[in-house]
Amino acid sequence: MKVLIWTRVSSREQREGYSIDAQMRVCRERAERQGWTVIREFQVAESAKRGAERLAFNEMFTWVRRNAKREGLEVILAHKLDRVCRNMKDAVRLQELEDQCGVKLAFVDNQFGAGASGVLSFNVMAAVAQYYSDNLRSEVLKGMEEKIRQGWPMGRASYGYKNVPDRSCPVVPHPEKAKTVVQIFDWFSTGQYTLDALGDRLLAEGHEFRTTYPRFNRTALAYILHNRGYIGEIVHRGVSHVAKFQPLVSRTTFDACQVVLKGRNRRSSTPD
């Protein structure tokens, strides 16, 4: 019997030491015990890339539909149901593969009987997997919003700051890039620079945006100049929260830059 192995591990599980390699190993061991031949393997770690799981699932689904009969594929093997199916939509799509291509599901930990009772068990487990996924997403969002209310940004620190492994103060000014941010606001607040001219001067004086792309382009500068985080505010869903991390720019300088930005936008939108 020819099988395809699917493995998935979440960011949280990786932090807790549950590796995708361990998951793949138990699936291969199950296939070997059954005398099955593995002809294709899919694996995805959610932290690798945003949306990677959905892309990989779609790739697997499409591959099975196109190749199952030609390759003689009979089974999709996963560690357990919630590795391959986390919502009812995916459950329906997987059942389509069985109905249209004759490809069944097999799991190392979950076993479902044949016939109507097996389908019912599968659907119940799929519903439980979706509930768990939805609840986990809700808890993650609540945790992120609570972090914002406490004055800390979500995700990576903005340019000029850096993330550090200190739970009491996870965001601190970057020793070099923070100076660049201060210079950006100071120069632009004078009203003597366009965004392009400011980018040119920053590059000429050795201020790098990124190693691979050292020049600050208009988009990067506009984002920095509009970012209220530099004056100690975090704005989320229209609500401003006091940031716990150190501000880099005075409110007076920030406001002066907003006046310059609005003036330039007004001039650029005025017809000749």
Q: For residues 66 and 10, is the Cβ–Cβ distance under 8 A?
A: no
| Cβ neighbours around 67 below 10 Å, total | 15
What DSSP character marks residue 150?
A: T
Check residue 240 and give its pLDDT.
86
Q: What is the pLDDT of residue 266?
A: 59
The residue among 84, 246, 256, 272 whose CA lies nearest residue 186 is 256
Q: Which residue(s) pair with 162 in the sheet?
A: 172
pTM value is: 0.51
List of domains in the chain: 2-147 (3.40.50.1390), 161-269 (3.90.1750.20)
pLDDT at 185: 98
* pLDDT reported for residue 88: 64
State the pLDDT at residue 113.
Answer: 47
| CB-based contacts of 258-266 (< 8 A; 24+ apart in sequence) | 258/225, 258/226, 260/188, 260/189, 260/191, 261/222, 261/225, 261/226, 263/191, 264/194
List the helix and strand counts (H, then E) for the chain: 10, 8
**Distance between CA 76 and CA 96 in Å, rounded?**
13
| Residue reference for tokens 């790098």 | 208
Element (H, E) at 107: strand 104-107
Over the chain (272 residues), the average pLDDT of each successive run of 10 is 89 60 90 95 70 81 94 91 70 81 83 52 55 60 74 84 86 95 97 95 94 93 95 87 92 96 67 44
